[in-house]
Amino acid sequence: MGGAVSAGEDNDDLIDNLKEAQYIRTGRVEQAFRAIDRGDYYLDGYRDNAYKDLAWKHGNIHLSAPCIYSEVMEALKLQQGLSFLNLGSGTGYLSTMVGLIIGPFGVNHGVELHTDVVEYAKEKLDDFIKNSDSFDKFDFCEPIFVVGNCLEISSDSHQYDRIYCGAGVQKDHENYMKILLKVGGILVMPIEDQLIQITRTGQCSWESKNILAVSFAPLVQKNRAEGSKPDAVELPPVTVRSLQDLSRVYIRRTLRDLTNEECPDKGLVQRAPQKRKRRRCRLRRINTYVFVGNQLIPQAMESEEDERIDQEQHKEDQEQQETQEQQEKEQEEEERDIGSVEILKAVNVLRDKIMTLPLPESLKTYLLYYREK
């Protein structure tokens, strides 16, 4: 599934294409997509395919097409402080983007059938927290992943504000999914080759909306011996943050706001989409007809007017080519001249601010989430 937009050269280029095709329509979704490099969730040797609008699968590891994730993120209508459940959480790519939007006072849980995929997701999450500068630009709700079959969730589990299921849901499992949703909540899932958005408007009332046609592999039920009871999946508890953790959240938020006020140019930088050159087509008039066998065939006949149009078109093409070459030359010179500025933008201003504080090193390390860089 995918292929709706052109392939990108990098993550920013991919996001530009998704915006141009109207799959990404809101600023907060765009920021989340730019903050998480899709290529980081690919295995080594497969990263070249990361920025194509295509699904990718290797063993149990799977990523949906970027256009699908874009529609899902928009349909969920995420806000700070919401609770989110990802059924079939896979690599954790989507859950991590959601965590950037719902913030530290949200709830971010994922259920995944395969143990090796959960371990892979935890590794990618740990790498994001320790190494990505994007982590310091957001208040983050860290996802928690558990192993289990999402069709065997304990019946007394708590409900969520937002739910996404990343595998095809059979019609007879639709109500099972709805029960996990709070009143006023939104559920996005594929049913019968349609990605649908379901809003719970009351205890027993729902509104459904088709988003787009999709093709998902169906949910898998574990094989078990006849007569044996399934192992119920226990979702992670919803806990209150400790006072120590809350202090870290608010200190980091205050310092981030201060640095953004002092250095507004060092905030979130969004890349402008590249301008695409349009080629003009020459329109020829039909001036005459000729007989070929028994058929009457129209044929263009050159005239002085046609020759004049050709000359003007050729001249315009040359001017466009010269202008484009000049712009590319100026851009290369600008990149060489402002190398120091590019480096300045790459500086993690929050980290620098924390390191200058008159605090014990252990406390600085805690405020930085033990990040080494």
Chain segment 19-42, per-residue pLDDT in tens: 999 999 999 999 999 999 999 999
pTM: 0.77
User: Given a cut of 50, is residue 188 above it in pLDDT?
Assistant: yes
pLDDT of res. 8: 76
The predicted structure's pLDDT at residue 296: 45
- Label the pairing between strands 286-292 and 205-213: unpaired
pLDDT tens, 329-347?
A: 766 665 554 444 343 345 6
At 287, the pLDDT band (50, 70, 90 cuts) reads: very low
Respond yes or no: is residue 64 known to be catalytic: yes
Residue 36 near residue 134 (C-beta atoms within 8 A):
yes
pLDDT tier at 134 (50, 70, 90 boundaries)?
very high
Q: How far is CA 141 from CA 186, 296, 344, in A?
A: 19, 71, 28
64, 70, 95, 134: which is the annotated catalytic residue?
64
- Element spanning 119, H or E: helix 115-131
Q: What average pLDDT does the segment 56-79 reach?
A: 96
Q: Residue 320: which pLDDT band, with cuts at 50, 70 and 90?
A: confident
Checking if the pLDDT of 92 tops 80, the result is yes
Q: Which stretch of 19-23, 176-180, 237-241 has the lowest confidence by average pLDDT? A: 237-241
- Count CB-CB contacts under 10 A for residue 227: 5
Is residue 190 within 8 Å of 171, Cβ to Cβ? no
Q: Helix or strand or coil: residue 55?
A: coil
**Per-residue pLDDT at 61 exceeds 50:** yes
CA distance 214 to 371: 39
Q: Of all residues in the chain, what percent carry a pLDDT higher than 90? A: 60
Residues 80 and 105 sit within 8 Å (Cβ to Cβ) = yes
Mean pLDDT of 273-297: 46
Token pair of 68 as six digits: 């699908």
As a whole-number percent, the residues of the chain with pLDDT over 70 amount to: 79
Q: Which amino acid is at 46?
A: Y
Cα–Cα distance list, 300 to 285, 287, 295 (Å) = 6, 6, 16
274 CB neighbour count, 10 Å cutoff: 11
pLDDT of residue 166: 94
- Which superfamily, per CATH, for 11-220+238-262? Vaccinia Virus protein VP39 (3.40.50.150)
Task: Give ∠ CA 164-94-81 in degrees, rounded to 5.
Answer: 70
